[in-house]
Structure 1
């Protein structure tokens, strides 16, 4: 079974889920995949209003809609998927936030868009599976960049030497942006084991790169990124 958000599960008329290696798109969302907007994720901060199924969104990493029957889904393989829903289930959103999008302000851009026609205080946010602070080792230069550009405690940004905690950074940002509540679904994409076959539960770009460095014949993950999605079922 795919991961799900307790917060969003309590909103009637909305389907959501976070994919994994077994079901790249959660099984209960697969029937709606044809409605998913076309886009190219570029680790940016552009937010697109989606008004029709299959809409061509160009280069974008954030999507918002109040139109029922459209699946908003983002591809990830260590980056953060964050999905959003208004408390009344009448509007939804989704973003792809790698470290670039997170530091460059994609969460702030989404909050700005929500506040144009509403209030973040009326919205929930759910953070999906991503690289965890246990495994996400980066350069000291990148850690320093986060420390310089974000007004957050160093122990939150980097709880271990040269490791980033993307989910904690995102949660702190979302709280500061006034969202009503935030929860987490899923665990570290790099190290979480699958329950069945002894492999790993999630697709991981970082883990795959390490494996390919050891064995160049190891299969890449192109086209096999998991998807996190959300949709409004009907008016």
Structure 2
């Protein structure tokens, strides 16, 4: 079932949701699909203001709007989706934060955009499903790079050998940047099973890494092109 943030669910003027394999775009957001921006996510840190439906944005990984009825969404399949709302629902945002974007400052760029004419203290954020610390194994060099560049204890960045905790890093960044509250919706995209289906084994989320392993074993196994999940938010009130 679609993941929802308890924190964002208290804001009456917005609708949000984090997609999964059962509904890549959450059902509550599907009426707004035609308003989605045209963009290319590139694991960067560019934030774009969305002022009109179906706006052409070029290469971008973060989106911000104060316009009602325009769906702001990012596509992920192991990377971290983070969606944002002002506490009164009058402005919203979303970022796609893989390890590159998270390390290089996509979250900070969203905070900078908010602080241009507001304060992050008036905003909340929710972190969606992504590759979890349980499964997200990377090389030692990348772990070392994170530890060198980020001012967090080693156990937050890497709670076990060569495993990276994207969600914990993002949560600490968001707290440090002054957001009023942060929560997490969803779980690990690599290993979380769909609790509604037991036979055969069926995973809840699309996962690039899991799919790549299957394709290494069986080149005929279909790739995930067109099957990434959307995490999105729209001002409805």
State the TM-score bracket (shorter-chain normalisation): over 0.9
Cross-structure match for 2:226:
223
Matches within 5 A, 1:181-200: 181-197=181-197, 198-200=201-203
- Residue by residue, what CA displacement relative to the aligned partner does 1:47-79 show, whole Å, maximum 9, x if unpaired? 000000000011000000000000001000000
Cross-structure match for 1:206:
209
TM-score (norm 2): 0.98
Query: What SS does the corresponding residue of 2:114 show, helix, strand or coil?
Result: helix
Q: Which runs of 4+ in 1 moved over 2 A?
A: none
Aligned length: 234
Cross-structure match for 1:146:
146
- Residue by residue, what CA displacement relative to the aligned partner does 1:10-66 show, whole Å, maximum 9, x if unpaired? 001200000000100001111110001110000000000000000001100000000
Structure 2 residue runs of 5 or longer lacking an equivalent are none
CA–CA distance in structure 2, aligned partners of residues 72 and 13 of structure 1: 14
Q: Is the 8 A contact 2:13 2:88 kept in 1?
A: no
CA–CA distance in structure 2, aligned partners of residues 8 and 199 of structure 1: 28
Cross-structure match for 2:7:
7
Question: CA RMSD for the aligned pairs?
Answer: 0.6
Query: What SS does the corresponding residue of 2:230 show, helix, strand or coil?
Result: strand
Query: What SS does the corresponding residue of 1:6 show, helix, strand or coil?
Result: coil
Query: What SS does the corresponding residue of 1:211 show, helix, strand or coil?
Result: helix
CA–CA distance in structure 2, aligned partners of residues 215 and 191 of structure 1: 19
TM-score (norm 1): 0.99
Q: Indicate the larger mover: 209-218 or 132-141.
A: 209-218
- Are 1:107 and 2:107 counterparts? yes
Query: What SS does the corresponding residue of 2:110 show, helix, strand or coil?
Result: helix
